């Protein structure tokens, strides 16, 4: 039998927006959340009206900012060597709007005027680390397929493989 969280009946949920706000601040002290994510979490213990009021208060006071959250999360996903497409999928799953997701990804994944594309750098780092043995064994097709499954576009995969093979030949 699979474990499932027991839903609290509406009668047991608190309707106090001040308590919901305090709980929201506790959640935000642990880590940054999107407004939708925090709302869902607050709705487990509080009524929808209390949770909505708490979210509105937190946004008004500047404790909760979806744009800031999207930027921070996109930066951490780039650091984790995620592709732009995979990062967009994660951000949308957190309840962010398409505009917020696009704005954050354009800022974080934008190629600097000089230097290489951050998405290409992430793909190269993956090839040099996790997939180096497969590439050395001549299984270029497996490495390319793995990168494509991770959400990297084919032009990025092709350039990453070419650069890694070129540097390993030297």
Do the beta carbons of residue 87 and residue 77 sit within 8 Å?
yes
Instruction: Evaluate whether residue 53 is within a structural domain.
Output: yes
> Do both 56 and 95 map to the same domain?
no
> Do both 79 and 94 map to the same domain?
yes
Listed residue (50, 64, 132, 136) closest to 95, CA to CA: 64
Number of domains in the chain: 3
The neighbour count for residue 78, using CB atoms within 10 Å, is 19
pTM of the model: 0.80
Radius of gyration of the chain (CA): 21
Instruction: Evaluate whether residue 113 is within a structural domain.
Output: no
The pair phi, psi for residue 14, each rounded to 5°, is -80, 145
> Do both 75 and 32 map to the same domain?
no
> Do both 52 and 70 map to the same domain?
no
Q: Which pLDDT value is given to residue 73?
A: 96
Mean pLDDT of 116-120: 87
State how far the Cα of 139 lies from the Cα of 126, in Å rounded to an integer: 15
The residue segments making up the domain with residue 122 are 118-169
Q: Which pLDDT value is given to residue 117?
A: 87
> Do both 55 and 71 map to the same domain?
no
Domain-ending residue, one of 42, 60, 78 = 60
> Do both 143 and 161 map to the same domain?
yes
**Using one digit for the tens of pLDDT, what is the confidence trace for 75-99?**
999 999 999 999 999 999 999 999 9
Q: Which pLDDT value is given to residue 10?
A: 72
Instruction: Evaluate whether residue 1 is within a structural domain.
Output: no
Mean pLDDT of 59-86: 95
> Do both 56 and 76 map to the same domain?
no
Check pLDDT > 70 for residue 1: no
Listed residue (127, 166, 162, 118) closest to 147, CA to CA: 127
* H helix runs in 43-153, sequence order: 48-60, 66-79, 84-93, 98-108, 118-129, 132-136, 140-149
Instruction: Evaluate whether residue 2 is within a structural domain.
Output: no
Give the CA-trace dihedral at 141, 144, 150, 153, to 10 degrees: -140
The pair phi, psi for residue 59, each rounded to 5°, is -70, -45
């Amino acid at each position: 039998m699979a474990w499932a969280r027991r839903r609290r009946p509406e009668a047991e949920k608190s309707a106090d927006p001040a308590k919901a706000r305090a709980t929201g601040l506790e959640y935000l002290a642990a880590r940054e959340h999107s407004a939708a994510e925090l709302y869902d979490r607050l709705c487990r213990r509080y009524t929808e009206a209390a949770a909505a009021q708490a979210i509105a208060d937190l946004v008004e006071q500047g404790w909760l900012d979806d744009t800031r959250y999207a930027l921070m999360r996109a930066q951490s996903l780039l650091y984790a060597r995620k592709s732009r497409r995979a990062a967009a999928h994660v951000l949308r799953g957190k309840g962010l709007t398409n505009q917020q997701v696009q704005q954050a990804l354009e800022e974080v994944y934008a190629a600097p005027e000089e230097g290489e594309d951050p998405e290409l750098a992430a793909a190269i780092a993956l090839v040099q680390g996790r997939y180096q043995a497969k590439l050395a064994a001549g299984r270029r097709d497996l490495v390319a397929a793995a990168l494509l499954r991770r959400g990297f576009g084919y032009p990025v995969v092709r350039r990453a493989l070419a650069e890694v093979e070129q540097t390993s030949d030297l």
